[in-house]
Structure 1
Amino acid sequence: MPHEVMKDIYLIRVPLPGNPLKNLNTYLIKGAERSLLIDTGFNIDSCHEALIEGIAALGVSLDDLDIFLTHVHSDHTGLIGRLKTEKNRIFISSTDLLVLDRFRSALRWKDIEEQSIKYGFSEEEIHENRSTNPFKNYLPPKNLEIEPIEEGFIFKIAGYNLVAISTPGHTPGHMVLYDEAFGILIAGDHIIFDISPNITRWSELQDSLGDYLNSLDKIFKLHVRTTLSAHRNPNGDVRERITELKEHHMLRLDEALAIIKTEPGLTTYEIAARMTWSIRAKNWIEFPLTQKWFAVGEAGAHLDHLIQGGLIEEYEENSKLKYK
């Protein structure tokens, strides 16, 4: 059932079955005439049922419910096809709208597979990923009317003035919402308190980790009293958490650099296999493939940042990208 976390702002927990994130924290801001839903859940029945039940419990009609998507990932966008009516509106950053359109193209996934081979994945893993990748499998349908917004767009609802702030890193066009007067930050996946957000490689970004760290600095400067995060425990001290997240990535960078200096000539996949991960698996071989995908992407983001800093070099050998 919905839980009121601030006046007229309700948390609806949407389960994410079989996903280590466990749940999505969606937020519904209930206005006198129109309401705003922030993020949705995977495009699967269990997510849809939980969300619809929460919306109905608040007495809100879908026709009167606009939707803001903090970013492109399918646990946030997946259900928009089931929630869209002729009278409501859906918003996302212009950057992530382009990313969403690309990910709904078979050519994009072909490019990803070709790049993944260069990173060190096997053909067998590529084949298995086609049926297990949640981002790919739970995307919303095409041909939905989604409105692109830019930084500075304001949602005025229930007495709040929520300003969209660009925070690239987790995705190229991730956005948070911030109300300065109330000190509210609706953080999406930019800041999560119980786990570190996955920062992966994106073809749209040269240095996604660098962008993420800069985005953390951007939010650190804001006066935030209440943070509403998209996963796990939604609340915490945002500045303290930003400090922890930056320290976490510094340690990861040091670890990746040490691996390369000890064993130059490894692929991204091989470097990820040697890094430390918080997961219930005895070794790299036992990693679930989806988690391997996240780990290799995150290792790659750290390698890209090291390249930008001039600390390592990337080169191609036998159709594989390697590092020294």
Structure 2
Amino acid sequence: MRGALPDVEEFAGGWWSIPVPMPGGHIPYNLCYAVRDDAGGVHLIDPGWPTTGHLDVLAAGLAHMGAGLSDVRTVTATHLHTDHLGGAGDLRAATSARIVLHREEDRAVREMAGRRPAHAASDAIDRWGVPADRRAELEAHAEERVERPTADVLVDDGDLLPIPGRSVRVVHTPGHTTGHICLRDEDAGVLFTGDLLLPTIHPGVGLGAHGDANPLADYLSSLQRIARFDNEAAPGHEYRFRGVFARTITTAEHHLRRTREVQRVLQRDRAHTVWEVASELTWSAGWANLQGFFLMSALAQTAMHIEFVQTDAGRTAGG
């Protein structure tokens, strides 16, 4: 994952993988995917973070397939996070390409545009019982840095992407976010998994608007849904891999281990805040070392697991 970006490369009968740098360092790049349609137009999946020079990176990648930015017709994002959807706005402005999102994800983008993230974060920090001396670092990571573009084309589960000559079908896979989608090229035998399933990283859950749904329950159901597509997987980060079924099992078990750990803490005979529960869990970096974004994520994940273990499905999973 560290060091130089991987090469731009062709795979699965005409698809191309274009690594796009990400700021921050903890994940150095996302993978944008490109394919031509029957008329010569180009279609992208997850164009990446809109850093300075972002369009130049994409243009250089497209040159490997004999194309340019002016050939781009659609840009599909598997979900609303900046490293997947963020660069779509610049692309649309530069090329007039249409942005494609799942209906629920577009709704979430529009809802998020109408509120201050710091206000919602402050409310959550209150509920979680965060000590006063740790509030400031969490609130500092709540402000949005990039405006997310809304969709021109809305898709639902089972729809085909508007790519002439290609049968790329939408599979609604909520959990990571409400409107997260995977995309299956039925002829090429490749499954684009976004951030639902990665080869070594365990994606976070509940990182987008979810309303009354429990994101962990949604996520586990989504893993079960894609397990039958045991094709080559083209994820949003790291590298392509095979063995989708096996990876869904290990990924689900990772989250269920955390569910069982949370349940054991909650069974102790005393009141618990989210902060208190999180402080008693096992974190790969160590609880004392979690700061800023990573601490905020740990608390959000803990709150979600607490909610999950109070459901029938969660009690069964934790038993």
TM-score (norm: length of structure 2): 0.86
Change (3 A) 1:78 1:275: same
Name the structure where strand makes up a greater proportion of residues: 1
Aligned to 1:97: 106
Q: CA shift at 1:5, angstroms? A: 2.0
SS in 2 for 1:84: helix
Q: Map 1:91-240 onto structure 2 (within 5 A).
A: 91-122=100-131, 125-133=134-142, 136-140=144-148, 146-155=152-161, 157=163, 159-200=165-206, 202-222=209-229, 224-240=230-246
Distance 2:171 2:190 in 1: 13
The match for 2:311 among 295, 308, 312 is 308
Contact 1:117 1:123 in 2 (8 A): no
Identity value in percent: 24
Distance 1:153 1:33 in 2: 22
Aligned to 1:23: 29
Q: Map 1:28-39 onto structure 2 (within 5 A).
A: 28-31=34-37, 32-39=39-46
SS in 2 for 1:41: coil
Q: CA shift at 1:176, angstroms? A: 0.6
Contact 1:177 1:187 in 2 (8 A): yes
Distance 2:240 2:135 in 1: 34
Change (3 A) 1:311 1:117: same
Which amino acid letter does the alignment assign opposite residue 153 of structure 1?
D
Aligned to 1:52: 59
SS in 1 for 2:124: helix
Contact 1:160 1:179 in 2 (8 A): yes
Q: CA shift at 1:301, angstroms? A: 1.8
Q: CA RMSD in A?
A: 2.4
SS in 2 for 1:36: strand
Which amino acid letter does the alignment assign opposite residue 62 of structure 2?
I
Which amino acid letter does the alignment assign opposite residue 111 of structure 1?
A
Q: CA shift at 1:42, angstroms? A: 1.9
Any unmatched runs of 5+ in structure 2? 1-6
Distance 2:307 2:202 in 1: 19
CA offsets per residue over residues 136-180 of structure 1, 9 Å max, x none?
21343x6x5532211122126474301001000000010011133
Aligned to 1:67: 75
Distance 2:137 2:45 in 1: 32
Aligned to 2:4: none
CA offsets per residue over residues 266-303 of structure 1, 9 Å max, x none?
21122222212223xxx423213101111111112211
The match for 2:97 among 79, 82, 88 is 88
| 1:288 paired to 2:276 | no
Q: CA shift at 1:111, angstroms? A: 2.5
| 1:298 paired to 2:301 | yes
Distance 2:135 2:101 in 1: 30
The match for 2:272 among 259, 266, 269 is 266
Q: CA shift at 1:198, angstroms? A: 0.3
Aligned to 1:322: none
Which amino acid letter does the alignment assign opposite residue 113 of structure 1?
S
Question: How many aligned residue pairs are there?
Answer: 305
Q: Map 1:241-252 onto structure 2 (within 5 A).
A: 241-252=247-258
Distance 2:228 2:313 in 1: 28
Any unmatched runs of 5+ in structure 1? 313-324
Distance 1:15 1:272 in 2: 32
Aligned to 1:315: none
Aligned to 2:86: 78
